[in-house]
Amino acid sequence: MLEKLNIQGFRKYKDFTVKDFGQINFILGNNNIGKTSILESIYAWACGQNAVPFFNIPLSRGRYSGIQQPYWVMEELLASVYDRRTIPLSMIFDGVYNGRDVRFEHSIYPSELLGEYDTSYKNNSDLISVSNNSKSAGDMNPIIATVPGIFQMQQTMIAKWDVKYNDNVISTDITVPTSQVSKVRPFKLAKYIDVLSHTGISECIQIYASLKREKKLDEVVNEIRKVYPEVRGFDMIPYPDGSQSPISVIKEDRVLPLYACGDGIQRWFYILGAFVLYKNSIICIDEIDTGFHHEAQTEFSTDLIRAAVQNGVQLFITTHNIEFLDNFLKSACTIESSGMDSRIKVITMRETQNGLKVRTMNAKDAYNSREHFNLELR
């Protein structure tokens, strides 16, 4: 289990440490204080020397799956580092995992495209030359023909990304279109879930398949029906021509594609399914409360705790919703799971005159503080 993480040079964090993680961790604080950046840092640490998922998911925050504009990607890369004036750009994620130190040092060498984006970098000798293998973003034709009738995007070099672990360095070329596959294994299997992840049709199909293989689909249906009694099940019903359809929700009087249902049903299915698909992993969930009506929060919280325990998942969560947190803490302190309240941590981040401060409480102390003193935990 990840017990502690030191972040250097990532987003707003020059040198910042969060410690005393439990199995389930809520990260709270005001807007723009850096909660999402903590989740991204945890995910980045879990990726280890595999820069591809780190770049494609939290770094771009999902914005470039359909938009492959090189300058946008370069701009986002610069926005991700604390010190953008020194090349190579650098970040360090140093975690304590099961009692041992695991440190990943990132050195990012932008291409000459950076000099086009910001002329103050022009002729910097540390920029990666792309004159021999790639055109600049300004003068290239983004679409090239390979086979008659088949077209693909011209790749543009964004940066060379080195990740050092112990004495070993692995280099990855970051291009646009971005790479989707890497042969480098992550240090720890991890999943990053944001407020739109449940809209990904292909991954929902993966989750459905995993639930079917693990014989967990009926269990998920039964949990969802406690709040949405009209749901009878989930299925994949091929179209009349035999082609694959998205997941369908079977209701009493109709069959609907999952994406036609409300966010509550979609996220419940997606998140519970992700625990099975990404068993024994780290899962980061941003804005956990999105889509859940207050009457559904207690049941969902109980499901979340049990799924984390049953599937060996370490969970990191952000929320602004104090009502959701109250329901979660109540579930944590009443669920039939010995010692679960001590394995859940509430981490509050606050800006003070002396800088960013962190307060950590276990679930029982946080619940009592809310119940008896109405303490503001966010």
* Lowest-pLDDT range of 51-65, 71-85, 174-188, 286-300: 51-65
H or E stretch covering 300: helix 294-310
Chain segment 167-201, per-residue pLDDT in tens: 999 999 888 876 556 678 999 999 999 988 898 88
Cα–Cα dist 17/73, whole Å = 28
- Helical axes 263-277 vs 294-310, angle rounded to 10°: 10
CB distance 51 to 181 below 8 Å: no
367 pLDDT higher than 90: no
The domain defined by 193-232+259-373 folds into Rossmann fold (3.40.50)
Chain segment 128-163, per-residue pLDDT in tens: 887 544 444 444 444 444 444 544 557 788 899 999
CB distance 186 to 278 below 8 Å: no
Q: What is the pTM of this model?
A: 0.89
CA dihedral sign of residues 121, 122, 125, 131:
positive
Please give the structure tokens belonging to residue 12.
């707003």
Q: Give the largest Cα separation in the chain, rounded.
A: 72
Q: Which of 178, 145, 168 is nearest to 62 (CA)?
A: 178
Cα–Cα dist 67/156, whole Å = 14
Question: Residue 181: its pLDDT value, please?
Answer: 61
Question: Residue 122: its pLDDT value, please?
Answer: 85
Phi-psi label, residue 48: left if phi above 0, alpha if psi -120 to 50, beta otherwise: left
Question: Residue 70: its pLDDT value, please?
Answer: 85
201: DSSP letter: H
For the chain, give every domain's residue range.
Answer: 49-185, 193-232+259-373
Q: How confident is the model at residue 356 (pLDDT cuts 50, 70, 90)?
A: confident
Residues 152, 154, 158, CA angle at the centre, nearest 5°? 135
* Section 67-76 average pLDDT: 80
Choose between 341 and 349: higher pLDDT: 349
Cα–Cα dist 333/342, whole Å = 9
